[in-house]
Amino acid sequence: MDLLLEATRRAEQEHFWFKGFRAFVAPLVASAVAAHPPRRLLDCGCGTGVNLPMLAQYGSAYGFDLTWTGLKFAKDHGTHRLTQASVLHVPFRDDSFDVVTCFDVLQCFPPYIAAQVLAEFHRILAPGGHLVMNVAALESLRGDHAVLAEEAHRYERGELHAMLEATGFHVARLTFTNASLFPIMLGARWWQRLRGLKAIEDAHDDFTVPSAVVNDTLTGLLKCEAALLRRLDMPIGSSLLALAQKR
């Protein structure tokens, strides 16, 4: 487990996908914080805590995760303000936070349970507070990674928009991301489904950082997409990125 967590932490810091992810997310977090000071931020499903330093730039950042081993790993690496909890029962009072983030967690639940998760996020946000959320998109992109991430459902854009609005959020921004990698991912994951998805113990390829040349090239590609994303929404991609405000 320690070796797997170390590999996960390294991938989160160095892998092109995670670098691109932070380039996509950072402007939305900055926008959310600017719209609603003071700044108490909560990362729901924080894993090994790798995103908390980014959030801590804007105020007091807290995190929780269901898995204690990930939290211990985060604490051993100097991350604090952590607790163990489920997104279905968030252990904080109503209206406690100005910004709530949730990255790649909602796909672990079918829509009827995900709606309960969104209701919890709405409850703990202060009036006018913001949710920044990233979710796996499109069932056509289900592949080996879905096994490793224990995905229950990959969301459509209209589906997620309707769920957020029904929960009491106003959707300020909802866009696909990783559009620049979409053709490659579509082909690769179609092939993975055709030959049969790997068992969970064999599905760790996504945690392998590619060669420096490949990693740097794809990082640059995603950062170019992130710059474009500041001006317009992507029509397709492997993830959905949302900025929503509590009414």
How does residue 47 score in pLDDT terms, banded at 50, 70 and 90?
confident
Q: What pLDDT is attached to residue 1?
A: 45
Q: What pLDDT is attached to residue 206?
A: 59
CA atoms of 88 and 114, how far apart (whole Å): 9
Tokens 């790649």 correspond to what residue?
Answer: 104
Token code pair at residue 74: 């985060």
Q: What pLDDT is attached to residue 7?
A: 59
> CB of 30 within 8 A of CB of 59?
no
pLDDT at 36 over 80: no
Total structural domains in the chain? 1
Q: What pLDDT is attached to residue 38?
A: 75
> Which residues have CB under 8 Å from 104's CB, separation 6+?
45, 134, 135, 136, 149, 239
Q: What pLDDT is attached to residue 37?
A: 78
Comparing CA positions, the residue from 67, 136, 86 lying closest to residue 106 is: 136
Amino acid 163 reads M
Amino acid 107 reads Q
Region 18-43: what's the mean pLDDT?
Answer: 92
Task: Convert the pLDDT of each residue in 201-225 to its tens digit.
Answer: 665 665 678 899 999 999 999 999 9
CATH number at residue 237: 3.40.50.150
Coil, helix or strand at residue 109:
coil
Boundaries of domain holding 223: 2-246
Average pLDDT, the chain: 91
Cα-only R_g, the chain: 17
Task: Convert the pLDDT of each residue in 99-153 to its tens digit.
Answer: 999 999 999 999 999 999 999 999 999 999 999 999 999 999 999 888 877 899 9
Q: What pLDDT is attached to residue 174?
A: 98
Give 130-188 as a DSSP string: EEEEEEEB-GGG-SHHHHHTT-S--B-HHHHHHHHHHHTEEEEEEEEE-GGGHHHHHHH
CA atoms of 110 and 200, how far apart (whole Å): 20
The dihedral formed by the CA atoms of 69, 105, 209 and 147, expressed in degrees to the nearest 10: 90
> CB of 95 within 8 A of CB of 76?
no
